[in-house]
């Protein structure tokens, strides 16, 4: 079975993002970029399927600027077999990404698409569900366990109150949550080997998808600042303040 995984290039989770002075977005120039953490989990899960013999090929897909190649290389160094880069400098919103993925799925015919449940930049949490809808496939979102069996998959999902397990027909789209696995670090020999693995580059036009944004960002601002930094001297004072000043206990 072939597995397609999505890898998005995002601002590294350790970077404190800054809103641009002109309020058009957040500063991404000269900022450390990394693979979206949920996508690392997606890549790791696919590699484990290959190691277990249930997957035979892993294709890592990224969409966006030229630098997305680096993100694909990271996935290849972890253990993906080849990459596909949909090159564009236009803004891609989740619906557009889902449509581009659908076009790639129709070319590649994977048995499973694994995506991160959300990207830590726009926090949309949409692409996997949208892709499943467009393909008419089942979806296993926020997965903490994937068990493949013959013609189906059992996916355990992280829901608000605990865990829910659903049975899905294959092919399916699965999105990853934190508990699914712990992604490996790429070893130096594998980083070297990854340089030789192929990455196909495609233009949006070649996939025949309308990627025009449906949402216009009018402005991006800092969240309301907190007036913090007050100290209390003792636990008694803390309890008193919480009870009589803040009224929260």
Partner 1 sequence: MAALVIADHDGTALDPATLNAVSAAVRFEGDIDLLVAGGGTGTVAEAAAKIAGITRVRHADDPAYDHLLAEAVAPLVVELAADYSEILFPANTTGKNLAPRVAALLDVAQISDITEVIAPDTFVRPIYAGNAMATVRSSDAIKVITVRGTAFPAATQDGSAPIEPVAAGEGQTLSHFVRQELSKSERPELTSARVVVSGGRGMQSSENFHLVEEIADRLGAAVGASRAAVDAGYRPNDFQVGQTGKVVAPELYVAVGISGAIQHLAGMKDSKVIVAINKDEEAPMVQIADYGLVDDLFKALPALAEALDKAGVKPR
By CB under 8 A, tell whether 137 contacts partner 1. Answer: yes
37 or 201: CB nearest partner 1: 37
By CB under 8 A, tell whether 30 contacts partner 1. Answer: no
Do 35 and 81 contact (CB within 8 A), yes or no?
A: no
Least separation, in Å, of the C-beta of 125 and partner 1? 5
Which residues ranging from 82 to 111 are in contact with partner 1 (CB under 8 A)?
93-95, 98
Helices 127-135 and 94-108, interaxial angle, to 10°? 50
By CB under 8 A, tell whether 48 contacts partner 1. Answer: no
For residue 93, give Cα distances in angstroms to 154, 159, 211. Answer: 29, 25, 8
Q: Which of 168, 174, 194, 204 is close enough to bind partner 1 by CB under 8 A? A: 168
Do 116 and 97 contact (CB within 8 A), yes or no?
A: no
Do 7 and 43 contact (CB within 8 A), yes or no?
A: yes
Rounded to whole angstroms, the Cα distance separating 52 from 48 reads 6
By CB under 8 A, tell whether 14 contacts partner 1. Answer: yes
By CB under 8 A, tell whether 121 contacts partner 1. Answer: yes
Q: Number of residues in contact with partner 1, rule: CB under 8 A?
A: 81
By CB under 8 A, tell whether 223 contacts partner 1. Answer: yes
Ramachandran category for residue 51: left, alpha or beta (phi over 0 → left; psi -120 to 50 → alpha): alpha
| Stretch near partner 1 under the rule CB under 8 A, chosen from 74-82, 103-111, 183-191, 225-233 | 225-233
| Stretch near partner 1 under the rule CB under 8 A, chosen from 61-69, 75-83, 137-145, 183-191 | 137-145
């Amino acid at each position: 079975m072939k597995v397609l995984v999505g890898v998005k290039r995002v601002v590294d989770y350790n970077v404190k993002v800054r809103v641009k002075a002109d309020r058009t977005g957040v500063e991404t120039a000269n900022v450390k970029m990394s693979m979206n953490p949920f996508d690392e989990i997606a890549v790791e899960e696919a590699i484990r399927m290959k190691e277990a013999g249930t997957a035979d090929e892993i294709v890592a897909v990224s969409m966006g600027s030229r630098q997305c190649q680096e993100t694909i290389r990271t996935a290849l160094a972890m253990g993906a077999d080849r990459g596909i880069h949909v090159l564009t400098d236009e803004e891609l919103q989740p619906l557009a990404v889902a449509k581009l993925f659908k076009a790639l799925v129709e070319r590649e015919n994977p048995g499973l698409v694994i995506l991160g449940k959300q990207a830590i930049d726009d926090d949309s949490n949409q692409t996997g569900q949208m892709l499943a809808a467009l393909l008419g496939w089942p979806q296993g979102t926020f997965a903490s366990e994937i068990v493949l069996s013959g013609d189906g998959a059992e996916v355990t999902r992280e829901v608000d109150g605990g865990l829910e397990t659903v049975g899905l027909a294959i092919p399916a789209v699965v999105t990853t949550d934190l508990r699914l696995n712990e992604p490996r670090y790429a070893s130096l020999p594998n980083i070297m080997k990854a340089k030789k693995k192929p990455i196909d580059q495609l233009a949006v036009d070649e996939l025949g998808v309308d990627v025009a944004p449906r949402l216009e960002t009018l402005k991006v601002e800092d969240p309301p600042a907190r007036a913090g930094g007050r100290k209390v001297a003792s636990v008694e004072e803390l309890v008193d303040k919480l009870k009589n000043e803040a009224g929260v206990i």
